[in-house]
Structure 1
Amino acid sequence: MSLQKFSSKKLLIASAYSCLAVSAVIALPLSFSLFMPSAQAQSRRVRYVPPSNLGTLTVSVPGATRSAGCTEQACLIGLVPDLVAQTSPVPQTIAERPTFYFLIPEIDGQAYFRLFESDSSLAKGKRVYRTSFKIKNKAGILTFKMPDNAPILKPNQNYIWEFVVGDLTDAETVSGSIRRVLPNQNLVDQLKKVSLPLDRAALFAQEGIWFETVQTLAEAQKGAYKKPEIVSEWTELLKSATLNRVLPFAFLKNSVTTPEQTLEPTKPPQRYGY
């Protein structure tokens, strides 16, 4: 073999190895991008931080429970963090008339919502609001927003809420607490800079504002198309609050409401633990 042919062959082999190396370098990131989740996908953006300031009161009423009447199909649950623990802080809102979310079983009956002022020990005080409405729905997540004719929640005032479903002889109830706080200036400034639901929910969550965190993620799921990242954050938020029972259920769209009624269940509803 001549020197010229040998040199040509060496050059051809070297070129082949060079192309193979370049292909490997290009293909490696592509393969990782297909099979490795991104850092953003791995990290949660909405992380609820319960209020920890010294002025925040904690749940101390043994009877307060967010769930009742559990069956194989569904429970009656208030979408709030676990209120059984004595150290659980009162869930906060910045709304004058907040929005509540409840998981309800399939029902054709009456619902009652009541709101009471509460003292520092969360003992039930004066009733400040009551309404009732007809429910005829399959099991799912019910949205209840306090209407414009309801009283405004006072800042830094604790309240006890009760939600009852059933009739005059057979009813189930859930109850919990809520505290309205005024947003600090940093939160106000940051909310002006963001518009995406995940960004807003993340701000509310890190400031310990539970009700607006839930509302922001819930409203972001309206419509035919649900963004996977919204559903993922919603799922993880509920899991972090031990609300796993709620996960299989969708939001109800056709709840029927009627004017306020004068009759309420006279039989004390049976309460359940977890």
Structure 2
Amino acid sequence: MKLNFHLTILATVALLTPIWLTSVVNAEIEISQLELIVQKTRFRTPDMRETSGRTTPGGTRGSFLSPENTPTALIPETNIGLTLAEYPTFFVYLPAMVGKTGEFWLVTEDGNVIYETKFTLVERNGIISVNLPDDGSIPPLKVGQKYEWGMAIVLDPNDRISDSLASGWVQRIEASPSLSQELQNTTPDNHPKIYAEAGIWHETLDSLAKLRQSNPNNSTFITQWQDILESVGLEAVADAPLLGDTNQLTQPPQKSGGSLRAPDTRESPLVPPPSAPTPRSNMRVPDMTPIPIPKGGGTR
């Protein structure tokens, strides 16, 4: 009888042990996920600012687009983002405007064009990325130098003053030895948080966007993306889908290098006086060929 009793106890323990272990593992996972929710990933914005860029609520000057129909440059509220890359990636929210043309440009502080490209908007609104070509066709960004970049939606090719515009600034810096070491000692899924804490904007978004694209159903990466954008005042587009880069859209031949005729600020009524910085929003740019390059103005 005692033997049967002991055997019964052992059999019961053997049956319950997997269930108990499963419960413990599930509890640990729930605790880990709860910690991620409580400890939001926030971007530590560097102490630097540009007076123009990003986006404004209310649309563009001279057009009657609602806020959800205007482009938004994904940059911090300071209107400038840092990068470590010679050829960084830029992110922009675009509304759904089938058949309309989008135009991207990158210029130096004195207005020399580094890169420009065109593409056709698609039927879905969302966030697109623009990758600078690293094939030697354009020069790399110089350390310590600021560049202005922008995105325009061409509403009427015959009336370029109606363009809906978003723009921002980028500056390349060198990684500190401690940052480089930290990145080398961690896995890629931890890189977005490291970049965010270091104030490196473009690598924060680029590394997190790649993680989201390779793991589309990972709720942790989705939450991190939303937390990052909300921490810099971009909650309006934090839930927008990622549409990929411009090469995945219908794209006509692109051009790079050269120089474009920038708008004459002495004649343009759209350029505000020095005491009134350009609002963080879309603004119209004067007609020019081939792509309008705003001078010190624009929107995020």
Identity percentage over the alignment?
A: 21
- For the pair 1:227 / 2:207, whether they are aligned, the reply is no
Spell out, residue by residue over 1:106-136, the C-alpha distance to the aligned partner (whole angstroms, 9 max, x if none).
Answer: 1222222222222xxxxxx132323222213
- 2-side partners of 1:173 and 1:204: how far apart? 28
- For the pair 1:96 / 2:82, whether they are aligned, the reply is no
Aligned-partner SS, 1:126: coil
- For the pair 1:180 / 2:172, whether they are aligned, the reply is yes
- Which residue pairs with 1:160 in the alignment? 148
- For the pair 1:50 / 2:45, whether they are aligned, the reply is yes
Determine which of 232, 243, 261 is the counterpart of 2:234.
243
- Which residue pairs with 2:243 in the alignment? 252
Map 1:52-201 → 2, pairs under 5 A: 52=47, 57-61=48-52, 64-67=53-56, 68-69=59-60, 71=66, 73-82=68-77, 88=78, 90-107=80-97, 108-118=99-109, 125-137=110-122, 138-148=124-134, 149-166=137-154, 167-168=156-157, 169=159, 170-197=162-189, 199-201=190-192
- 2-side partners of 1:236 and 1:58: how far apart? 22
- 1-side partners of 2:299 and 2:101: how far apart? 23
Find the structure with the greater CA-based Rg. Answer: 1
Query: Structure 1 residues 180 and 194, CA, compared in 2 at 3 Å: closer, same or farther?
Result: same
Alpha carbons 1:66, 1:79 under 8 Å: kept: no
Query: Structure 1 residues 273 and 48, CA, compared in 2 at 3 Å: closer, same or farther?
Result: closer
TM-score by length of 1: 0.71
Query: Structure 1 residues 115 and 73, CA, compared in 2 at 3 Å: closer, same or farther?
Result: closer
- 2-side partners of 1:226 and 1:112: how far apart? 31
User: Which structure has more strand as a fraction of its residues?
Assistant: 1
Alpha carbons 2:146, 2:171 under 8 Å: kept: yes
- 2-side partners of 1:117 and 1:46: how far apart? 32
Shift of 1:146: 0.9
Return 155-164 or 40-49, whichever deviates more.
Answer: 40-49
In the alignment of these two chains, the number of paired residues is 226
Shift of 1:272: 8.4
Q: What is the RMSD computed on CA atoms of the aligned residues?
A: 3.1
Give 5+ residue unaligned stretches, structure 1: 1-25, 83-87, 119-124
- Which residue pairs with 1:41 in the alignment? 36
- Larger RCO, structure (CA 8 Å, separation 6 or more): 2
Query: Structure 1 residues 191 and 177, CA, compared in 2 at 3 Å: closer, same or farther?
Result: same
**Which amino acid counterpart does residue 127 of structure 1 have in structure 2?**
N
Alpha carbons 2:208, 2:225 under 8 Å: kept: yes
